[in-house]
Structure 1
Amino acid sequence: MLKEIAQWKSVRKFSSEPVTKDQLLSIMQAGRRSPSWKNIQPWRFIAVTDEKDRTKLAEAFSMGVLIKKAPAVIMCVGTLEAWVKDHQLARLKELFGATGVNMADEDIKKMYLDHELAQSLAGKPASIMARTFENIGIAYAFMILEAMHQGLGACIVGELDNELVAVNDQKYAEIKSYFNISETEVITAAIIVGHPAKETPIIPRKPEKDVIFFK
């Protein structure tokens, strides 16, 4: 098992030492490299380091104090337009091209985009939202592990007022506008990043017998 997985711990308190641009870039590159359904990559990642910007972003989160105090934050944005058929086709063509598979557009559509399950997903906004969160969640994991690999600590902060909650639509709209996030995008989470202020213990997990099975 990778050391970063075996020794993973969420870090919420950081020293005043800044996180470098190169470190943030490496973390976001890890997110960019993460896998996704049909290679659609429904995400954007925005590094937020300025105190004013972090304070604004924190307004959307129940634990906004963590975002205010962290030296760096990576805002994770789900892109719902990634599920548009033409976009999916383009990403699939890239996937097949990279693996040496030559398929005509119509064959790709027939096999991957026009069958019953794909059409059902495309027609249900709730399903598109759920699959966007599912895919971008994989990117979270890649990024926090890369942060640890860089000698940093990180924590995913996910309880926020967004399209799923809609407690204060006006405030959320203001925050999206502030960060130039479109109506077809959703803020899904923020990852706080920094140099750990102290040693954090590894938190116990459920027993293997309750989680891991072979059939």
Structure 2
Amino acid sequence: MRHDVKRASAGRGTRRAVWLAAGAAVCGAMLATPAWSQSFTDRFKSLFGGGASEPAPTISNGPIAESDLTCPPVTIRAGAATYAIGLPGKEAAGNDLRYQVVIGRTARECNLNSGMITAHIGIQGRVIAGPAGAPGTVEVPIRVAVVQDGVSPKTVFTKAYRTAVNMGSDGSVPFSLVTEDVVYPAPSADVNDAYVFYIGFDPQALKPEPKSRRKK
């Protein structure tokens, strides 16, 4: 849906005020406690269970006594916590901002089976319309990676996800994503604590995949 970006100054002022207020509320929630320590409510509560104060979950469905594995924390990559889009050819700031997406809460659950870990990583955030007006549908690109952190970080798993959000009239709409296919080999006990679930916005995920060349 195409929106007329030439709005009256009063309309822009109202939109900008709504965007700033909503953005401040979400950012405040992010700063209150680390993202990995938070759990979802409502529909996510049945999947992850408990509240924000519960301890880090251990991996279930496996011989915990043998490996003493725990579910890695979820960490938002530096510089990838927000995703902003401006008018064509304009910087995504001020009156040229169309919308901004922020991550608010995360949760995770791990299952161990035959030496492989399947992780369900939940991400919840919000799409906030900017002064220039957001489109009717916004695609949110997120990358999830399993990394063995250290002096030389090693990426064990990585995948980009996309979720579509229908914008409402109030200009601030929540989004959510739960991965179902993050699978990787269980780490050994000596490096288990070095594993981290990294998440963040990845605009490259919205680019179309290159067409494969036909064989002659």
The verdict on a shared fold, with TM-score over 0.5 as the criterion, is no
Give the TM-score normalised by the residue count of structure 2. Answer: 0.31
Query: TM-score scaled to structure 1, two decimals?
Result: 0.31
Structure with the higher helix share, 1 or 2: 1
